[in-house]
Amino acid sequence: MGQITSWLRDPNPASRLQARIGQYYLGWLRLSRNPLAMIGLTIVLSLLVMAAFAPLFATHDPIAQDLGQRLLPPGTPGHWLGTDDFGRDLWTRIVYGARITLYIVALVALTAPLFGLIVGTVAGYFGGWLDQVLMRITDIFLAFPKLILALALVAVLGPGVENAVLAIALTSWPPYARVARAETLTVRNADYIAAVRLQGAGALRIIWGYVMPMCLPSVIIRVTLDMAGVILTAAGLGFLGLGVQPPLPEWGLMISSGRKFLFEQWWVATIPGLAIFIVSLGFNLLGDGLRDVLDPRSSGK
């Protein structure tokens, strides 16, 4: 074990692979020293495990109704988080709802940051009229509140989980474009970029191979911090009936169906609300920790 640690922390790595793995190891050490970041990582990993192995954690069918068991309070034998107005087990629906939440988060995280990264790096590298056009389009999207713009897009596209993901992605890319453009402006005139250009590399190769990798740390930080907003937007669309449709166990939809029982049977709406709160908090804590690791300029360490 000591030899492996020494190999990972070697100040003079013998290969690029060793240097890369050593960087990851040192980053993990910095992240593990942050207790709040580890709490966030634990929450996010728990969400992943719960979504991946939902049938193992669930105790009932998430869709099957049993009107004889409706509105049972938490602590009821067989239903430790209670049941909703159709007699469906809330714990089971929370577990399967994690799959839907993770599905939305993953699709948005794979589409919006990539599109924003492309727009930002192209605008920052070329500058001029192309930069002006792309950034003014970005400003137009930023001028509208994210949820309002997502509501408008879903109203046009129609309700459903795929359309909700598309609407959220279309409203989430502008901040990534801003971040990528700012990073590109700082590196486009660097000496190593000039050297690659003198070797005959084209603009596409420079952007893809040298500029985008420099922007990735900032984009990753932004992605992690924005996941809470994505979850809240998806829950808001579900709450309004424009996102995931019944009888699927989406957390925002569960809050919407339970709001009429809020004063007498509080758990129907409160428990999915707590799930949204805990997962959003986990992504925020993890994002803060990753910012300290990937962007040392943001901390005094």
Task: Let me know: does 271 contact 94? Beta carbons within 8 Å.
Answer: yes
Residue 2 lies in a domain: no
Tokens found for residue 207: 């952007």
pLDDT of residue 130: 93
Q: Evaluate whether 102 touches 48 at the Cβ level (below 8 Å).
A: yes
State both tokens at 276.
């949204």
In a domain, 28, yes or no: no
Q: Which of 113, 114, 134 is nearest to 122 (CA)?
A: 134
Within a domain: residue 89? yes
**Tokens coding 149:** 């713009």
This prediction's pTM: 0.87
| Within a domain: 123 | yes
Spell out the residues 6+ positions from residue 241 whose beta carbon is closer than 8 angstroms to its own.
159, 253, 256
Written as one string, the DSSP assignment of 59-84 is: -S-SS---GGGTTPPTTBTTBTT-B-
Range of the domain at 203: 48-298
Walk along the chain (301 residues) and give the pLDDT tens digit of each residue. Answer: 677 888 778 788 888 888 888 888 888 888 999 999 999 999 999 999 999 999 999 999 999 999 999 999 999 998 999 999 999 999 999 999 999 999 999 999 999 999 999 999 999 999 899 999 999 999 999 988 888 888 888 888 888 888 989 999 999 999 999 999 999 998 888 888 889 888 888 888 999 888 998 888 888 888 988 998 899 999 999 898 888 888 889 999 999 999 989 888 999 999 999 999 999 999 999 989 988 887 655 544 4
**What are 15's two structure tokens?**
């290969």
**Do residues 269 and 262 touch, judged by C-beta distance below 8 A?**
yes
Q: CA neighbours within 13 Å on the CB side: how many for 232?
A: 15
Number of domains present in the structure of the chain? 1
Write down the pLDDT at residue 148.
Answer: 87
Number of neighbours of residue 205 by Cβ within 10 angstroms: 13
Q: What angle do CA 125, 126, 127 make, to 5 degrees?
A: 100
Has residue 188 been placed in a domain? yes
For residue 297, the model assigns a pLDDT of 57
Is position 223 within any domain? yes
Give the Cα separation of 6 and 9 in Å (integer).
5
CA–CA gap between residue 45 and residue 172 (Å, rounded): 24
The answer to the question of residue 23 being in a domain is no
CATH no. for residue 290?
1.10.3720.10
Q: Assess if residue 202 is contained within a domain.
A: yes
